[in-house]
Amino acid sequence: MDLVNCINDMVNIFDETNGAKYMLVWDKDNDTIRWTRVLMEYLGVDEVYSNNARESIIKYIHPDDCAKFLAGVNKTLQGEEDSLHVNLRIRHRNGTYHNAIARGRKLIDSNVFVGNVLILDDADNRDVLTNLNTFTDFLNVVNDAIENNQDFIMMAIEIDHFHSVNSVYGFDFGNRLLFELGICFKSLLKGRGKAFRLEGTKFAFYLVGKDIEVARKLYGHIKALVHEFHLDGHVISIDINGGAIVSNEYHKDYQAYYSSLLVALERSKDARNGQLFVFDDDNSSGYMEDLQLIEKVKASIFTNCNGFYLCYQPLISAINGTVIGAEALLRWRSDEYGNVSPYRFIPYLESHPSFYQLGLWIIRKALSDALEIIKLKPNFFMNINISYAQLEHKRFKNDLMSIMDELKYPKANLQIELTERCKNLNIKFLKSELDYFKSYGIKIALDDFGTGSSGLELVGQLPLDSLKIDQGFVRDILNNKTSQVIVDTAVECAARLGIVTCLEGVEDENIREFTHNYAVNYHQGYFYSKPVEYNEFITLLDKQWINTKPRLINRNGGAMSTTSILSRMPGGFFIYSASDNERIVEINEAAIEMFGCETLDEFVELTGNSFKGIVHPEDYDRVQNEINEQINNSESEMDYVEYRIIRKDGEVRNIRDYGHLVHTDYNDDLYYVFINEIV
């Protein structure tokens, strides 16, 4: 898999998981453009790939803006500029022009440009996939209701495991399903409110009045609807989770409402019973308790952070099973509430101004503890979660640096974890802040990769050291093919960009064993240890979780997959699929050269990209028989087969193939791996 394929796969996956963005991949060498589905929908592009890249793209840009866009892309590709950032007008499929910002950068060592379009004034204020109102509209509607003292209910629902619909029926079907659901949601509302698409498979509803029964009924109808939904002759059955909040006197602004709504949705997911979780006046016991808890937690910040403490969870080298670092995780406890999980207060507090003080307390405490460990293990690093509100604070840079200077903490032993909400920051600002930290040797990790908005374009644009793949993909990796593909592709892509990967949520031996197939660098999860307090953490430092399978690593300690090693070797190498018309699925340059071809395209043209097209027609039946005989005798290995090939220049050569019969973890298809030489 070369880099372009790798990126294309990633775009596919983002399409499939509905984390889709307005993105494109412009491959200058092949003169093609690959669009994401949502961008295609927006512009009215018909095909996923467009040839004649330049002509294809300028159709969608205002004629006055084309020159600056094209010049910007060229400068980026020629390395004259780090990245592209231009304001321009792009053409919606209905023919109207809209202000947008195009951003992007060159993929390392390639002639490939990965771009992202931010549309500033969306064509008709509609979500392009579902035609519902958007997230921004939702906040505006709630804001207006608060200002006009109106009673309302906010409800959010999220579809569970939508990616399984995409993987079974394809993402075109998935997108259509979302569109049809949008229509149904509107009709179920019967004019009593409005429906919105927030992002991915999250929808919101604004209902007039305070009668929670209205929300419960609507939720019940939606649940019944999606439990047996008919589309294109298929019957789809999906589950949803939902949260709701009734207007009240405690929430002062729409942001407070919105974060409470998300918390309600999370509660519904946690309960795993698919019921609507409601924050309202009646069930206020739980809800008021929450608000009181948050008030108490907040008050602790003002009393020297009394009640807060940190737990540390080890980060384990996937290569040798030793502890290489830790993630600091915040906890709070009081006599009244006992030990409280950060999930219960961080979402509320993170953007509150008082959190800034607490954030500095966390840094100081975590680094002081880490300093003790570094005396024993000089390479030990501490991961600290940093919220966007911290990064945005104008004193943050100075405060962080002065704590480190004061403690004499070695900068390379700190890694900042950026939560996904950081993408809310202006990307230029974010990049410049991160560049500053990097210039001092501080490392940067992107947390929860693959969820919400932590996506590919962030990976391309930010100076990252590691990618933490969200536990959601890891937890079900044994049985969920989509998760397997996402993890595999993310790891491969990151490795090529020189970024190390961490798997979160390695919960048990089975997951650990299975994920050993992936070229991941480090692991985190309950299998090794839950987050524990400092005294217990230091007893883990000498532990080693022995690996049963050896791992391949390069000189820099980075993990390598076997295919990437073979693709660089001087001898020929190819793999073909026995289950799919002998199609060549992987071939290296040396093998292409053996056929007298200079490029993969030439090889494909010469051989039809199949093993049958490789072997001299007079030798083909004999070769097949020999392969079968050898395989039948030894199950998966063969000695070698010899046959003639006809090169591009017409010359006939004798080839010797040493082969293996293999299959992958994803399916039962059979592949032959051949290492070949000319004899």
Alpha helices in 132-211 (DSSP H): 135-147, 162-169, 171-189
Which residue number has the CB closest to ligand C2E? 525
The reply on whether position 417 binds Ca ion by CB under 5 A is: yes
> Taking contact as CB under 6 A, which single stretch among the options 83-91, 241-249, 298-306, 523-531 is the one that binds ligand C2E?
523-531
DSSP assigned state of 477: T
> If binding means CB under 5 A, how many residues of this protein chain bind Ca ion?
5
DSSP assigned state of 622: H
* Cα distance between the two ends of the chain: 28
- Partner from ligand C2E, Ca ion, none binding residue 531, C-beta < 5-8 Å depending on class: ligand C2E
Cβ proximity to ligand C2E: between 200 and 525 the closer is: 525
Residues 6 or more apart in contact with residue 190 via CB below 8 angstroms: none
The reply on whether position 448 binds Ca ion by CB under 5 A is: yes
Backbone angles phi, psi at 106, to 5 degrees: -85, 140
The reply on whether position 505 binds ligand C2E by CB under 6 A is: yes
> Taking contact as CB under 6 A, which single stretch among the options 147-155, 243-251, 504-512, 605-613 is the one that binds ligand C2E?
504-512
CA 490 – CA 522 distance, rounded (Å): 14
Q: How far is the CB of 339 from ligand C2E (least distance, A)?
A: 11
CA 584 – CA 358 distance, rounded (Å): 57
CA dihedral 593, 489, 70, 461 (to 10 degrees): -130
> Taking contact as CB under 6 A, which single stretch among the options 217-225, 258-266, 500-508, 540-548 is the one that binds ligand C2E?
500-508
Q: How far is the CB of 477 from ligand C2E (least distance, A)?
A: 12
Bin 328: left if φ > 0, else alpha if -120 < ψ < 50, else beta: beta
Cβ proximity to ligand C2E: between 364 and 431 the closer is: 364
Three-class SS state of 541: coil
- Partner from Ca ion, ligand C2E, none binding residue 222, C-beta < 5-8 Å depending on class: none
Exactly one of 241, 317, 385, 607 binds ligand C2E (CB under 6 A); which one?
385
Residue 427 near residue 117 (C-beta atoms within 8 A): no
Task: Name the packing angle between helices 355-376 and 284-302 (round to 10°).
Answer: 70
Site for ligand C2E in 314-353 (CB under 6 A): 328-330, 341-343, 346, 350
Residue 621 near residue 641 (C-beta atoms within 8 A): no
Q: Which residue do the tokens 């230029």 mark?
A: 428
- Hey, what are 220's tokens? 């019940």
- Partner from ligand C2E, Ca ion, none binding residue 305, C-beta < 5-8 Å depending on class: none
Beta bridge partners of 332: 308, 340
Cβ proximity to ligand C2E: between 127 and 504 the closer is: 504
Site for ligand C2E in 350-369 (CB under 6 A): 350, 362
Cβ proximity to ligand C2E: between 158 and 448 the closer is: 448
- Secondary structure of 293-332 in HEC code, one letter for each residue: HHHHHHHHHHCCCCCEEEEEEEEEECCCCEEEEEEEEEEE
Three-class SS state of 478: coil
Report the half-sphere exposure of 347 (CA within 13 A, side-chain side): 18
The reply on whether position 448 binds ligand C2E by CB under 6 A is: yes
Residues 6 or more apart in contact with residue 385 via CB below 8 angstroms: 327, 328, 329, 330, 417, 419, 447
> If binding means CB under 6 A, how many residues of this protein chain bind ligand C2E?
23
Site for Ca ion in 469-528 (CB under 5 A): 504
∠ CA 542-341-277, rounded to 5°: 140
CB neighbour class for 51 (10 Å; exposed up to 12, middle 13-18, buried from 19): exposed
Exactly one of 447, 457, 582, 589 binds Ca ion (CB under 5 A); which one?
447
Cβ proximity to ligand C2E: between 182 and 505 the closer is: 505
The reply on whether position 628 binds ligand C2E by CB under 6 A is: no
Cβ proximity to ligand C2E: between 387 and 461 the closer is: 387
Q: How far is the CB of 111 from ligand C2E (least distance, A)?
A: 36
- Partner from Ca ion, ligand C2E, none binding residue 507, C-beta < 5-8 Å depending on class: ligand C2E
Exactly one of 104, 243, 531, 572 binds ligand C2E (CB under 6 A); which one?
531
Give the number of residues written for the chain. 679
Exactly one of 471, 480, 483, 577 binds ligand C2E (CB under 6 A); which one?
471
- Partner from ligand C2E, Ca ion, none binding residue 329, C-beta < 5-8 Å depending on class: ligand C2E
Exactly one of 32, 166, 419, 676 binds ligand C2E (CB under 6 A); which one?
419
Site for ligand C2E in 572-601 (CB under 6 A): none
Binding site for ligand C2E (CB under 6 A): 313, 328-330, 341-343, 346, 350, 362, 385, 387, 419, 447-448, 471, 505-507, 524-526, 531
Q: Which residues in this chain contact Ca ion in the complex, by CB under 5 A?
A: 385, 417, 447-448, 504
